[in-house]
Amino acid sequence: MKNQSWDATDEDLVNDAMMKAFNQGIEYFITGTPRQLVLFKTFEPNTTPQDRKLKLYYLANVKSDNDVTTQSYKTQILPTVKQFLLDLSNLIHGIIEVHWDSIDKQFINKLSTYILEASAQMSEEMTPVIQSNESLRKRIREYIQEQDIFHV
C-alpha cells in the first residue's frame, strides 16, 4: 500500500502490481492507498491495465500518513474493507461478477484525490499564518459566513 499522496490508479503503481501478479500467475491484483483500494483483473488479452479495473473502494479522507494510525481511520475503513474482502472472495469463487464504476464516479474520485492532497499541504502552510494574524482570522470568518460555507 502506498502513502496518502498516491492515487490507487496511478499508472506506475498499477503496472508494478500487475507485473507481480502476472509473474505469479495470480488472476486478480489490488492496488491501494490509505484513501482507496482498486481491484484489477490480471489477464485480459488486448487491453491496457487501466482497462482491467474492476472496482474502486473508497476508504477514507486522509490528510497525512499519520491519520492511518488513528482509531477513527480504522473505524471509518472497516465496513469498506469487509465489503472488499467479501467481493473478492465471491469473485474468486465465481459467485459474483464485479463491474467498474461509471466514468463520472472515476472522475469525481480522481478530482477528490487531488483536492485532498492540495488542501492538506495548504493547511499545513496556512495554519501558522492564520493563527498568528487575528485580522486575517477575522476576515476569513466573515468571508465564510458571507458565503454560507459550511453553514456556520
- How do residues 133-147 score in pLDDT, each as one tens digit? 999 989 988 888 887
Question: Residue 95 has what pLDDT?
Answer: 87
Residue 107, pLDDT > 80, answer no
Reported as a single tens digit per residue, the pLDDT across 45-90 is: 898 888 888 888 989 888 778 888 999 999 999 999 999 999 999 9
Higher pLDDT pick, 54 / 102: 54
Contacts of 92 (CB under 8 A, 6+ apart): 27, 28
Model-wide pTM > 0.85: no
Query: What is residue 6's predicted lDDT score, i.e. its pLDDT?
Result: 77
Identify the band that residue 99 occupies on the pLDDT scale cut at 50, 70 and 90: low
Q: Comparing 136 with 96, which gets the higher pLDDT?
A: 136
Cross-strand bridge partners of residue 30:
39
Residue ranges covered by each domain of the chain:
11-151
Higher pLDDT, 53 or 119: 53
Residue 5: is its pLDDT beyond 80?
A: no
Is residue 61 within 8 Å of residue 33, measured between CB atoms? no
Burial class (CB in 10 A: 0-12, 13-18, 19+), 122: exposed
Mean pLDDT rounded to a whole number for the chain:
83
Neighbouring-strand partners of residue 31: 38
Q: Once rounded to an integer, what is the mean pLDDT over residues 106-127?
A: 72
> Among candidates 20, 23, 40, 21, which has minimal Cα distance to 32?
40
152, pLDDT greater than 60: no
Exposed e or buried b per residue across 23-42, where buried means at least 16 C-beta atoms within 10 angstroms of its C-beta = eeeeebbbbbbbbbbbbbbb
Q: What is the pLDDT of residue 146?
A: 82
